[in-house]
Amino acid sequence: MRILILGGDGYLGWPTAMRFSRSGHEVTVVDNFSRRRWHLDQSTDSLTPIYTLEDRIEVWKDLTGLEITSRIGSIEDAEFLDEVVAEALPEVIVHYGEQPSAPYSMRSRQTAVETQQTNVIGTLNLLFSMQSFVPDAHLIKLGTMGEYGTPNIDIEEGYIEIEHNGRKDTLPFPKLPGSLYHCSKVHDSTNIHFATRIWGLRATDLNQGVVYGIETDETALDPRLATRFDYDETFGTVLNRFCVQAVVGHPLTVYGSGGQTRGYLNIRDTLRCVELAAENPADRGEFRVFNQFTEQFSVAELAELVKGSAAQLDMDVTIESFPNPRVELEQHYYNASNQKLLDLGLEPHYLGEELVHSVLDSVRQHRDRVVFRAITPKTQWNPGELEGGALLAPRET
């Protein structure tokens, strides 16, 4: 198939590009390097050294003989995106090309507006490009489980059957986003659903949990093909942060009581889920929603898992509770369905001490690249509630 990957320089985009290329598909990637710019702006970087996109594409071709085409530009630029779609004529579009951070969206008015513009306008432009040039293409959009929030009922996959005043209907599952980033993802879902109902486009929304891990079959071929590993408070995930803290002797920073429960999955499973969606496309006019995760953990459970795994590697790790910079429930009911991808054939890789050991080993290899001040949470959902001295004092490298 002809496959267009938006955000093809990113944490998931680059491994996805290699996976589809290795499977024999014709791959084009688009990126404007926003993630690299955002890191440069805050003087942070990926823990793993990552080569430029063009260098990685060249290494990939040298190793495999396979070509990946790149186009540099922003999908908020409608003219540029139309040109890319018209030239590539993709049969599948994998859309990772968004600002992915809740803390970044909550940092200031400027970053909130940038998040909404990047995500909502970029996706709207894509829908119009699809309607104009590839109306039969299948859009695979990376959503987030964060769109649902933490309702006190089971979370279904996208839709729920409602009975009200003696009448029944199947409607989109209620959304309760926890940040302005998550709000932008809800807007995306609404716009994509509209485009499928009104224009007859076909789309699959992958409401993804928190992804961990950096090694795939393709990145393991050569260190120069590595994908990024973010651990900072803006773009890093909680498991990455805990593993870095364990290696550098920093207490594991559990926000509040640590009862916040979410879905998690291995990066290998992310790639397989996208493959399964591409191999089994939505029908014309259909908006499918898959909840893309394999396990559920609370933050406290993850901290204990990292502590226990680190102890086996002779690391003395402590866990400390810090005032939660976010406005969220710290103890709540959480039970989400994830059956649809399993029915398509997903065989999950589960998180265990062996995998945590692997992540810890990766962190130890690049320990000298850790920027200590970047770990401490500075972005507060309600800035008036926390005083500057309430959080862990920053440490410099």
Active site residues: 144, 181, 185
E-state strands within the chain: 2-6, 26-31, 68-72, 92-95, 138-144, 159-164, 167-172, 202-208, 210-212, 252-255, 261-266, 287-292, 295-298, 319-322
In this structure, what DSSP letter does residue 30 have? E
DSSP β-ladder status, 202-208 and 287-292: parallel
| Gap between the Cα atoms of 110 and 367, Å rounded | 33
Taken in order 367, 373, 379, 380, is the CA torsion positive or negative? positive
Task: Return the closest-CA partner of residue 330 out of 268, 389, 392, 260.
Answer: 260
Tokens of 305: 């898992």
Encode burial over 228-250: b for 16+ CB neighbours within 10 A, e otherwise. Answer: bbbbbbbbbbbbbbbbbbbbbeb
Q: Report the amino acid identity of residue 136.
A: D
| Gap between the Cα atoms of 246 and 188, Å rounded | 37
Burial of 221 (0-12, 13-18, 19+ CB in 10 A): middle
Task: Return the closest-CA partner of residue 211 out of 271, 279, 299, 148.
Answer: 271
Q: What is the distance, to the nearest Å, from the Cα of residue 216 to the centroid of all Cα atoms in its chain?
A: 16
In angstroms, what is the C-alpha Rg of the chain? 21
Q: Report the amino acid identity of residue 298.
A: S
Q: How far is CA 2 from CA 23, 38, 89, 245, 343, in A?
A: 12, 30, 7, 42, 25
- Whether 178 contacts 103, CB under 8 Å: no
| Gap between the Cα atoms of 235 and 46, Å rounded | 10
